[in-house]
A = this chain, B = another copy of it.
Amino acid sequence: MRVAVEPSLQADDYPFSHRIRVRFAETDAMAVVHHGRYFPYLEAARVEYLRHLGHPYTEWREAGIDAAVLEVFAQYRQALRFDDVVDVHVRLAVVTRATFQMAYLLTRDGDAVATGVTVHGAVTADGRPTRLPRWLVEMGAS
């Protein structure tokens, strides 16, 4: 397992957050958001964070690089329900030469409802591993 972060439960520890509202289609028969549907939330927050950093994901894709997902982890602390407003806090947590890890905290009205980690590697359009963008390596070193 490469996951090497225990995401903080303090929103202050995250430099960026993205707000989403739970769609009815994202709930399941337990009337809560299905556990697999948190990953599109994390992804949406990651996309917005990269845009905020001036390196939108579309730029990556135009450069022929994809940030393949190597591992994911999520911990569910409180259920999310239809129409809930959720803040997905995100930070760059770990950067190695070939991979990086993002940590996430989901809050509702300020309360921690879930955490997550995604581990990524840069790959070319045909799926071979390649170097991380320089700005990302530098950001991880700072």
Q: Does A14 have its Cβ within 8 Å of any Cβ on chain B? A: no
Give the contact-size bracket for chain A.
Answer: 35 or more
Interface SS majority for chain A: mixed
In the complex, how many angstroms separate the beta carbon of A112 from the nearest chain B beta carbon? 14
Taking the full assembly, how many copies of this chain does it contain?
4
Minimum CB–CB distance for A87 against chain B, Å: 16
Whether the pair B70, A71 counts as a contact (CB closer than 8 A) is no
Report B-chain residues with C-beta under 8 Å of the C-beta of A75: 1-2, 70-71
Please tell me if the beta carbons of A25 and B28 are within 8 angstroms of each other in the complex.
yes
Q: Is the CB of B71 within 8 A of A72?
A: no
Please state if B58 and A39 are interface contacts (CB–CB under 8 Å).
Answer: no
CB closest residue in chain B, given A39 = B36
Q: Which of A40-48, A97-105, A129-137 is found at the contact surface with chain B?
A: A40-48
One of B21, B29, B44, B76 near A29 (C-beta < 8 A): B29
- B28 and A40: CB pair below 8 A? no
Residues on B with beta carbons closer than 8 Å to the beta carbon of A24: 28-29, 34, 40, 43, 47, 57
5 A-B contacts, Cβ less than 8 Å apart? Answer: A1-B3, A26-B40, A47-B83, A57-B83, A79-B127
